Amino acid sequence: MVGTNTNEVPINYDRKRELRAFDDTKEGVKGLVDAGITVVPRIFHQPPDQYSTNNNFDSEATQFSVPVIDLEGFEFDRPRKRKEIVTKVGEASETWGFFQIVNHGIPIDVLGEIKDGVRGFYEQDTQVKKQFYTRDRFKPVVYNSNFDLHRAPATNWRDSFMCYMAPNPTKPEDMPEVFRDILIEYSKQVMKLGKLLFELLSEALGLKPSHLNDIDCSLGLVHVGHYYPSCPQPELTLGTSKHADNDFITVLLQDHIGGLQVLHQNKWIDVPPVPGALVVNIGDLLQAILLGLQLISNERFKSVEHRVLANRVGPRVSVASFFSTGMLPLGRLYGPIKELLSEDNLPKYRETTIREYNAHFIDKGLDGTSALTHFEL
């Protein structure tokens, strides 16, 4: 595998061949790091316009901070407190499309155990881990490096596994033993929290609390465990390229290392780790809503682009919980919420199924463009 310190493409560089060679190892980015690599291979190099952005420190960006919303006391019958939280959630969803929540009800020990479980999966014996390596997205557990490896313009410095937990949960016996029990428990906790978040978002939109749950925004839940190994040349690559999520909402648990950034007012803003917090962001079908809030809310809520930087410190571990039914063959159509439309607020996106949207997102890959433009009227 060719490595270089410059932006120039080596004469003997055959990207397709090197991608195949990397994929065939079934060891991911971690395998490169374990082998002692000191130069980032060319397949991981971002286009010049991407890593020039990485290197520019924007002092103005430091004046912005992603909202942190405290849910403490929400479980009690306190109408004033509920209204206050609904207002904050609505404002953050419209202005940022991102917010962090604390005192959300998921115990700290559960958060710690799921991070340990994800880390344990990647750091277990390589031969055991390889059993789950696949490009077949319909397998019970899908482990690989970069779902769009053979389509994306640049490979990300990241390995991932995916596991469906609702509405048709992966059978326990099909899960890796190292995270089986804690993933099942974490799923229960996240599903409960997700239904609450959809209530808050419904109320923020001026709808009845059950509206988004009633139209199955909380029906599907997919967990993706990310592993970002330490990178010898982080200025040349990214942990995750710029993208918006292809779901209703995402609930993200990140560890202490950091690196997540959100694009706000054309500036990359850090989303710093807050002990015990979870990051929530609006997806394309809740901008509308499920495929993010975008298709359903007709851009009243923002599904914003975000990315993860590569880092010399690592590994970084995160658990992204996507509320979406993914590629399941469900027939429900999603589009702008009719109660929110008017002569002054006409629909911007056509109706689609979640499966159709996801198929387009996966085929497109993380190429730096929005999947929503394909569905514009």
> Would residue 41 be called left, alpha or beta, if left means φ above 0 and alpha means ψ between -120 and 50 degrees?
beta
As a whole number of angstroms, the distance between CA 264 and CA 292 comes to 17
Mean pLDDT rounded to a whole number for the chain: 86
The percentage of residues in the chain with a pLDDT greater than 70, rounded to a whole number, is 82
Query: For 257-291, how does the pLDDT look when each residue is reduced to its tens digit (9 = 90+)?
Result: 999 999 999 999 999 999 999 999 999 877 654 33
Identity (one letter) of the amino acid at 77?
A: D
Confidence grade of residue 83 (pLDDT, cut at 50, 70, 90):
very high
Q: CA 216 from chain center: how many Å?
A: 20
As a whole number of angstroms, the distance between CA 197 and CA 215 comes to 14
CA distances from 158 to 98, 114, 297, 317, 331 (A): 22, 18, 32, 10, 33
Confidence grade of residue 2 (pLDDT, cut at 50, 70, 90):
very low
Comparing C-alpha atoms, which of 154, 199, 148 is closest to residue 362? 148
Higher-confidence residue: 364 or 5?
Answer: 364
Residue 293 has pLDDT above 50, yes or no: no
Asked if 260 contacts 270 with a C-beta cutoff of 8 angstroms, the reply is yes
Burial of 173 (0-12, 13-18, 19+ CB in 10 A): exposed
Comparing C-alpha atoms, which of 81, 19, 75 is closest to residue 45? 19
Asked if 284 contacts 372 with a C-beta cutoff of 8 angstroms, the reply is yes
Query: For 10-24, how does the pLDDT look when each residue is reduced to its tens digit (9 = 90+)?
Result: 557 899 999 999 999
